[in-house]
Amino acid sequence: MPQDSIVYAVARTRALETKLLNKEKLARIIEAPDAASGLKILTEYGYGGGRTDYEAMIDYELSEMSGYINSVTPNRYATGAFLLKYDCHNIKTIFKAKMLGISPDDLLTGIGTIDREKLKSAIEDGDFEILPPNMAQAARELKEKTELGQVPPQSVDLLLDNACFADMAHYASESGDEFVIECVRAVADLLNFRTVLRAKKGAIPLEKALVGGGSVPKERFIQCAEMQADEILIKTGIAKYGRAVNIEDYVKTGSTKVLEKQADDYILGLAKQKKYESFSIAPLIGYILAKEREAQAVRLIMIAKANGAESQMIQERLREQDE
C-alpha cells in the first residue's frame, strides 16, 4: 500500500541510493576479462537477484524499483507519470503478440504501475478499468480493430504512444506537483522536437507521431516541419531547454541519438537539483531515473564485453553516457 509520509519515503529512498552501482563498481565490471566474469561481479554486488542473464538482471532491478516506488509513494500520480511508459510497453506487447498469434509472456516486463498478469487478463477480457483513461480508450479501440484484422503494427505504437503521453500529462496534473508537471512537459516537448527532425527523412507520419502533454502545441511543431533545426528551436520556444537542445551533433551527423541523451540528462538534472529536499516527491523520481541510468550503463558494458571490446573503449562510451 502507498504510504502517506513523504519524509519516510525520502529517507528510505536515500538509503537505497547508496546501493546504486557507482563509477568504481562499474569500472571493476569493465576491467573484468570477459562477459561471464562481468556477470559474476554484478552478482557479487547483489545486482539482478540471482539472475544469470544481464537483460533478466536489468529487468529484475527495474521491476524491484517500480514495486518499491509504488509501495512507498505518497503521491501515486506523481511517481506514476514516470512509470506509465512501462505499462504502455506491456499493452503494446500484448496486442502485437495477439496479432502474431504468439504468447506475450516472455516479452512482458514487471516494471510499471499495473501488474502484468492483471493487465493481460484485462485486455483479454475487454475490461479496461484498471488502465489510465487514455490508454484504456486506446486499448478498447485496438481490441475492436484487431479482432477485425484492421490494425498494422505501426498503428499500435502510434496510438498507444499518444495515449501514454496524454495519461502522463493527466497524472502530472492530478499530482498537483509543479516539478512533475515541468518534467512531463519537457519530456513531451523534447520528444516532439526529435520527432520533427526525424520526420524530415520521411520515416514517420508527423501528424500522428507527435505527442500531447508538452508546453508547445503539436500544431506549432507541424508549422515548423520544413524549417531548419535552429529555426525550429526559436519558433517553438524550446530553446529554453538549453543544453538539452544543443543541435551541434545533429547538424554534423543528422542523427537525433545525442539529442535523446541530452533530453534524458536534462530531466535527470532537474531531479538532482531537488535531491536533498525531504518534503518533495523529487527524490523518489530521481531514484527512478538513477536506476534507469544504471540499467543503461550495465547494458552498455555487457554488450561491449560480449563483443570483445577493449576496456578503454568501454570506459570512453560510458563517459559519453555520463557527461
What is the predicted pLDDT for the residue at 110?
Answer: 95
Q: Are residues 316 and 300 in the same domain?
A: no
Q: Are residues 313 and 288 in the same domain?
A: no
Q: Are residues 193 and 269 in the same domain?
A: yes
Q: Are residues 297 and 212 in the same domain?
A: yes
Report the candidate in 43, 61, 45 with the shortest Cα–Cα distance to residue 110.
Answer: 61
Q: Are residues 159 and 210 in the same domain?
A: yes
What is the predicted pLDDT for the residue at 214?
Answer: 96
Q: Amino acid letter at 80?
A: G
Q: Are residues 283 and 161 in the same domain?
A: yes
What is the predicted pLDDT for the residue at 151?
Answer: 77
What is the spatial distance between Cα 57 and Cα 218, in angstroms, rounded to a whole number?
Answer: 38
Is there a contact between 77 and 179 (Cβ–Cβ < 8 Å)? no
Q: Are residues 256 and 268 in the same domain?
A: yes
Q: Are residues 320 and 200 in the same domain?
A: no
Q: Are residues 251 and 140 in the same domain?
A: yes
Q: Are residues 145 and 203 in the same domain?
A: yes
In the structure grid, which three cell numbers stand for residue 7, read together?
519524509
What is the predicted pLDDT for the residue at 73?
Answer: 97
Domain that holds residue 176: 75-304
In the structure grid, which three cell numbers stand for residue 60, read together?
529484475
What is the predicted pLDDT for the residue at 322?
Answer: 61
pLDDT in tens, 253-306: 989 999 999 999 999 999 999 988 999 999 999 999 999 999 999 999 999 999
What is the predicted pLDDT for the residue at 2?
Answer: 57
What is the spatial distance between Cα 58 and Cα 323, in angstroms, rounded to a whole number?
Answer: 22
What is the predicted pLDDT for the residue at 316?
Answer: 85
pLDDT in tens, 26-59: 999 999 999 999 999 999 999 999 999 999 999 9
What is the predicted pLDDT for the residue at 71?
Answer: 96
Residues 6+ apart with CB under 8 A from 59: 109, 110, 111
Q: Are residues 144 and 67 in the same domain?
A: no
Q: Are residues 213 and 158 in the same domain?
A: yes
User: For the chain, which ranges sit under pLDDT 50?
Assistant: 1
* Count of structural domains within the chain: 2
pTM of the entire structure?
0.93
